[in-house]
């Protein structure tokens, strides 16, 4: 049975470069101008393979690239080749925020995922959303996943330094604190090796290239593989 890959509308976001102008948050759910529509090559994934949902923003969605180049699809192919197949729903959406992710969560959980990868928060940070609100939304998402019998995998996000020291440090701290509080798997900074690197990002300096997405997949794959195995 071919893999299921649901690609939702995309658009901007990212957690990224040090220095330069700060990226701006985009309207949530607004379609991008260069959305890729290429189909992922069929993988012979068993119908009873675990379902993994990626709840994220335009980074997860792979803005400006074919959906098959976005890191969720790359991780699926890499783990399939390693003998760890899973069905995929890419719920990355343009301008995704923690509030938006929370509002979509119940519908996504009806699909009975085994794992929900949570890649949200950067747009909240770009908008200056109060840290207490970001943390509360993430906590409710993560607990909701747990209550549904699935495992949340939290991806750590960092902001550029020009958002103010107190806000940036508080933002950085809330991800590991939530992971420890809820005893959940955690990738401390999943943009490691990509954020701020010219060769890993598109000309906008914000969104990863195909090579950048392959690096993101490598950052994530070991933790996801442990959960699926």
In the numeric block, the tokens 């103010």 are attached to 164
Per-residue confidence (pLDDT) for residue 205, from 0 to 100: 77
Per-residue confidence (pLDDT) for residue 6, from 0 to 100: 39
Spatial CB neighbours of 123, under 8 Å, sequence gap ≥ 6: 13, 25, 26, 28, 57, 95, 96, 97
58 and 95 in contact (C-beta within 8 Å)? yes
Q: Of the listed 7, 64, 78, 207, which one is catalytic?
A: 207
pTM metric for this prediction = 0.84
95 and 28 in contact (C-beta within 8 Å)? yes
Domain boundaries, given as residue ranges, for the chain: 51-228
| CA 59 to chain centroid | 6
How far is it, in rounded angstroms, from Cα 196 to Cα 150?
33
Per-residue confidence (pLDDT) for residue 217, from 0 to 100: 93
Q: 6-35: string of b/e by CB count within 10 Å (b at 16+)?
A: ebbbbbbbbbbbeeeeebebbebeeebeeb
Per-residue confidence (pLDDT) for residue 33, from 0 to 100: 27
Active site includes 147?
no
Per-residue confidence (pLDDT) for residue 163, from 0 to 100: 85
- 39 sits in the region (left: phi over 0; alpha: psi -120 to 50; else beta) called beta
Active site includes 58?
yes
70 and 209 in contact (C-beta within 8 Å)? no
Tell whether domain 51-228 is in CATH 2.30.40.10: no
Helix (H, G, I), strand (E, B) or coil at 107: helix
Q: Of the listed 7, 58, 68, 94, which one is catalytic?
A: 58
Active site includes 64?
no
220 and 78 in contact (C-beta within 8 Å)? no
pLDDT per position in the chain (229 positions), as tens? 434 343 332 223 333 333 333 455 555 654 332 223 333 458 999 999 999 999 999 999 998 899 999 999 999 999 999 999 999 999 999 899 999 999 999 999 999 999 999 999 999 999 999 999 999 999 999 999 999 999 999 999 998 888 899 999 999 999 999 999 999 999 999 988 777 788 888 887 778 889 989 999 999 999 999 999 9
């Amino acid at each position: 049975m071919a893999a299921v890959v649901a690609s939702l509308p995309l658009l901007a976001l990212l957690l990224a470069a040090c220095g330069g102008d700060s990226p701006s948050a985009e309207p949530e759910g607004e379609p991008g101008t260069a959305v890729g529509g290429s189909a992922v090559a069929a993988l012979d994934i068993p119908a009873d393979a675990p379902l993994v949902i990626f709840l994220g923003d335009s980074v997860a969605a792979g803005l400006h690239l074919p959906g098959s180049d976005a890191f969720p699809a790359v991780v699926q192919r890499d783990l399939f080749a390693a003998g760890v197949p899973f069905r995929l729903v890419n719920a990355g959406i343009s301008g995704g925020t923690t509030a938006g992710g929370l509002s979509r969560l119940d519908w996504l959980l009806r699909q009975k995922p085994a794992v929900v990868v949570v890649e949200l928060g950067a747009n909240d940070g770009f908008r200056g959303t109060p840290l207490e609100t970001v943390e509360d939304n993430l906590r409710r998402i993560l607990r909701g996943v747990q209550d549904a019998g699935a495992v949340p995998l939290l991806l750590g996000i960092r902001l550029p330094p020009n958002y103010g020291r107190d806000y940036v440090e508080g933002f950085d701290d809330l991800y590991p604190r939530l992971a420890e509080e809820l005893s959940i798997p955690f990738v401390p900074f999943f943009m490691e090796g990509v954020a701020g690197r010219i060769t890993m990002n598109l000309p906008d300096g914000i969104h990863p290239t195909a090579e950048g997405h392959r690096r993101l997949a490598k950052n994530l794959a070991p933790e996801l593989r442990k959960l699926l195995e």
